[in-house]
Structure 1
Amino acid sequence: MSNQKRRGNIAIILKRKILSAILSSLLFALIFSTFGGIEGDAFFNLYYLNLIMVITYGVITSIFSDWLSRKLAKRTYTREITSFLFHCFFGCIFLVLSLVSSIFFFIVDRLLGKVKIGWLFVVIVLLVVVLVFITLINR
């Protein structure tokens, strides 16, 4: 595989993983705030805390899980199951809530795998997340 094609694949994966982190953290916070009776500031705290963990630890371990599953399994179905199990394993590191978060991340990541994502969209979404965070901090 040429270097340019490899860089293109890495960019596609990175865009998808970053967007998956943002969306799965939102899903995580929405579900847990709904069932837990969390309101307002606690929702945003839960969202941003989860996002920080997922965008750092989660993205790295997800890339590693996908890479490792490609090395271990040749068939697509087996590779997806293997990757899911690795996601769950790395999600268990921080106990049950992080396991749920890793499952959400896996599902959102696989759904986004069917969509073409541009850097401009990822940057805009990141800017919105950062601007909302700055606005909430300065209230």
Structure 2
Amino acid sequence: MDLAEKKQHVLPRKLLTASLTGSLFAVLLGFFVQGPFGDDINSIKEYLWSITRAVPFYLMYSFPVIFVYGTITSIISDFLSGLIAKNWLRRTEPYLSFVFHILFGSILQWVSLSAAILYFTIDSILRKKKSRYKWRQAFMSLAIPLLVWIFFMGIIWIMDFFKDGADYFVYSFFQEEKK
């Protein structure tokens, strides 16, 4: 595959991978690392509320890093592994790519390392499909993190509305009665 073909098909796959990885990483991080806000979790309700509040927070900060840094380092990892495997055995290319993903992902210890492993896994799955990914698919995949963010923020808004919004309606109802 020459440079033009790689630019035409590999880069859209990498962008699709970044969109999927960024969204999934934020959700998984929300499940496993609760309380970026210092909450005490004593019940399942508090655990679920902590996840709901943490996912948009994690998504806002991790997605741009995964999208930019993860995509660039993944392309470099694939390039280096292809270059090295060309001289050795062709079968070692995925293993070398995994090693480079691990090296680039170890920059922020376990957080970025888990994101790098997730990125490599999703990219490997998409690569095995042998599908030609197009730019339209890559740009449409950017809706995935946006929809995940809207979903969790919608839950937060609905919960806040039922918690505080009911007070607003009761207050305005009694203000109308006093007139």
Coarse TM-score class (shorter-chain normalised): 0.7 to 0.9
Q: TM-score, normalised by structure 1?
A: 0.82
1:123 aligned to which of 122, 139, 145:
139
CA deviations on 1:7-50 (whole Å, 9 max, x unpaired) are 22212111011111111122212222122344223201212321
Segment of structure 1 superposing worse, 119-128 or 61-70:
119-128
CA separation of 1:57 and 1:129: change in aligned 2, threshold 3 A: same
Aligned counterparts of 1:15 and 1:49: Cα–Cα separation in 2 = 22
| Count of residue pairs the alignment pairs up | 134
The aligned counterpart of 1:98 is 112
The aligned counterpart of 1:8 is 5
The aligned counterpart of 2:28 is 31
1:70 is paired with a residue of what secondary structure?
helix
Segment of structure 1 superposing worse, 59-68 or 111-120:
111-120
- What residue ranges of structure 2 are gaps of 5+ in the alignment? 35-49, 158-179
Root-mean-square deviation (CA), in Å?
2.3
2:142 is paired with a residue of what secondary structure?
helix
The aligned counterpart of 1:63 is 75
Counterpart AA for 1:119: W
Greater RCO, CA 8 A, separation 6+: 2
1:39 is paired with a residue of what secondary structure?
helix
* Residues 126-137 of structure 1 aligned to structure 2 (within 5 Å): 126-127=142-143, 129-130=145-146
Counterpart AA for 2:133: I
Aligned counterparts of 1:23 and 1:67: Cα–Cα separation in 2 = 22
Aligned counterparts of 2:107 and 2:135: Cα–Cα separation in 1 = 31
* Residues 64-79 of structure 1 aligned to structure 2 (within 5 Å): 64-74=76-86, 75-79=89-93
CA separation of 1:26 and 1:73: change in aligned 2, threshold 3 A: same
- What residue ranges of structure 1 are gaps of 5+ in the alignment? none
The share of aligned pairs that are identical, in percent, is 33
Aligned counterparts of 2:26 and 2:148: Cα–Cα separation in 1 = 15
1:56 to partner: Cα distance: 1.1
Aligned counterparts of 1:132 and 1:91: Cα–Cα separation in 2 = 24
Q: TM-score, normalised by structure 2?
A: 0.65
Aligned counterparts of 2:18 and 2:142: Cα–Cα separation in 1 = 11
Counterpart AA for 2:107: I
